């Protein structure tokens, strides 16, 4: 028989990102975690707290905020307080560059209010200064018992390390191309910094790594190698993925390949939102990537045919959209009220060709009438035809049938 293509499993340490009684496990066989990042000015504490809340309610299980100035560091405890007051216990990750050592040392309330620190070794100074400043950040993480992510990015790669590796490469009998040397430098920077952190007292199990690049095949190559060379949990994301369809497809392609190979313990889809577009879109896409691979289940799945010449009206598209929106909107309440509801399968089909068959495979399905068919929509529940909907209000009637089914 044909075997299911189950994702491979990569052995890794398990890190814990904690806020209050909320513990998010990362790696070590824990479910892959969805995370996202705010795009508000952190100094604007209320605005930032509201966006964190929005992202958390959309399904982000950790939210990163940039901490770039003393004012932003001062705002962090206030943001945390606002979230706690709203009942949002999502762990906050502080994103530090250049002055992170000073901010974490001079603002202990900020250091404590965060659950994890993202440290970019390419932006922590040069030479001796690098080790001293890096050490100050590790000291804060150890003192406050926080997890860290060593987040390397090819846009801010440690230039001294890259130059020395390029130099070494030029002495090879047959020098490599520049790109593989850069891959090596990314991985060396991440693993080297993690080892340095460990030598400074950071527990290995509290360190996660990332090596972000913006090309799909580059990301796959780098993470395959990174995953092979260490057992730290890995944060996965295609950096600067871009906007809309391009960003969505590129992220899904890269992350899909790696997750199927067991590489990636937390993910972020780094989309540039279109003007006016909600930041939560990146959370929805990240969740969908995990759900489509069968790694997590967040919301009921809606199976729908694409529609064709047999569907002349827009009723079919409208109904599919309405049911999808309805199910997502109910989830924050349903998740608590009806445990397991996320495993529900709903089918919305456009005509009799595949409609009844696909509907029978779902928990609940409807086959709308195509052109030339009688104006009736049979509804299938648990594989059997149970009723037929007719008239103007099929969409609303079907929504009620779904709601009743879930309640029962
Ligand atoms: Fe077209 Fe019917 Fe197939 Fe949908 S189920 S794509 S409407 S033939």
For residue range 51-65, list pLDDT tens digits in order. Answer: 999 999 999 999 999
Evaluate: CB of 351 within 6 angstroms of ligand 1: yes
Element (H, E) at 103: helix 100-106
Taking the centre of ligand 1 as the mean of its atom positions, its distance from the CA of residue 325, in whole angstroms, is 22
Q: Which helix (H) or strand (E) holds 346?
A: strand 345-349
Ligand 1 within 6 A of 370 CB?
Answer: yes
Residue range 155-205, pLDDT digits in tens: 888 888 899 999 999 999 999 998 999 999 999 999 999 999 999 999 999
The C-alpha atoms of residue 376 and residue 398 are separated, in whole angstroms, by: 12
CB atoms within 10 A of CB 81: 13
Structure tokens at 145: 């018992």
Tell me what ipTM this predicted complex has.
0.98
Mutation test of ligand 1: which of 302, 306, 309, 310 has the most ligand atoms closer than 8 Å to its C-beta? 310
> To test ligand 1's pocket by mutation, which of 316, 355, 369 has the most ligand atoms within 8 angstroms of CB?
355
Sign of CA dihedral 99, 102, 104, 110: negative
- pLDDT mean across residues, the chain: 94
Residue-by-residue DSSP string for 126-161: SHHHHHHHHHHHHHHHHHTT-EEEEEEEGGG--HHH
The proportion of the chain whose per-residue pLDDT surpasses 70, expressed as a percent, equals 99
Does the CA dihedral 381-386-388-389 come out positive or negative? negative
211 marked as binding residue: no
Closest CA to 223 of 212, 232, 214, 207: 212
The finding on whether 311 has its CB within 6 A of some atom of ligand 1 is yes
What is residue 293's predicted lDDT score, i.e. its pLDDT? 95
Q: pLDDT digit string (tens) for 284-328?
A: 999 999 999 999 999 999 999 998 989 866 778 888 898 899 998
């Amino acid at each position: 028989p044909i075997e299911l293509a189950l994702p491979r499993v990569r052995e890794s340490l398990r890190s814990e990102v904690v806020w209050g009684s909320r513990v998010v496990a990362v790696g070590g066989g824990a479910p892959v975690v969805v995370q996202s990042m705010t795009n508000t000015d952190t100094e604007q504490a209320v605005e930032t707290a509201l966006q964190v809340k929005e992202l958390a309610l959309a399904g982000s299980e950790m939210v990163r905020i940039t901490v770039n100035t003393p004012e932003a560091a001062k705002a962090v405890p206030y943001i945390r307080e606002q979230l706690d007051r709203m009942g949002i216990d999502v762990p906050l990750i502080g994103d530090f560059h250049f002055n992170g050592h000073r901010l974490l040392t001079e603002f202990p309330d900020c250091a404590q209010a965060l659950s994890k620190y993202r440290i970019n070794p390419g932006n922590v100074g040069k030479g001796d200064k690098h080790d001293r400043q890096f050490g100050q950040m590790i000291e804060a993480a150890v003192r406050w018992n926080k997890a860290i992510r060593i987040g390397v990015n090819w846009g801010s790669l440690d230039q001294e390390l890259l130059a020395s590796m390029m130099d070494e490469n030029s002495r090879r009998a047959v020098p490599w191309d520049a790109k593989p040397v850069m891959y090596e430098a990314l991985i060396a920077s991440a693993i080297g910094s993690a080892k340095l952190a460990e030598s400074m007292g950071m527990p290995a199990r509290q360190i996660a790594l990332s090596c972000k690049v913006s090309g799909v095949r580059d990301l796959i190559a780098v993470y395959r190698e990174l995953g092979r060379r260490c057992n730290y949990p890995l944060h996965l994301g295609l950096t600067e993925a871009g906007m809309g369809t391009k960003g969505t497809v590129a992220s899904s392609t890269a992350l899909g390949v790696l997750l199927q190979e067991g590489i990636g313990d937390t993910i972020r889809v780094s989309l540039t939102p279109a003007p006016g577009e909600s930041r939560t879109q990146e959370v929805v896409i990240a969740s969908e990537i995990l759900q489509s691979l069968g790694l997590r289940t967040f919301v009921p799945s809606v199976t729908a045919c694409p529609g064709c010449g047999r569907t002349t009206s827009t009723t079919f598209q409208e109904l599919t959209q309405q049911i999808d929106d309805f199910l997502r909107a109910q989830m924050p309440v349903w998740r608590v009220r009806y445990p397991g509801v996320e495993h529900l399968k709903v089918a919305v089909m456009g005509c009799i060709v595949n409609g009844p068959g696909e509907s029978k495979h779902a928990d609940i399905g409807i086959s709308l009438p195509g052109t030339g068919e009688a104006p009736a929509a049979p509804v299938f529940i648990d594989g059997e035809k149970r009723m037929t909907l007719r008239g103007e209000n099929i969409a609303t009637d079907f929504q009620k049938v779904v709601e009743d089914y879930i309640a029962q």
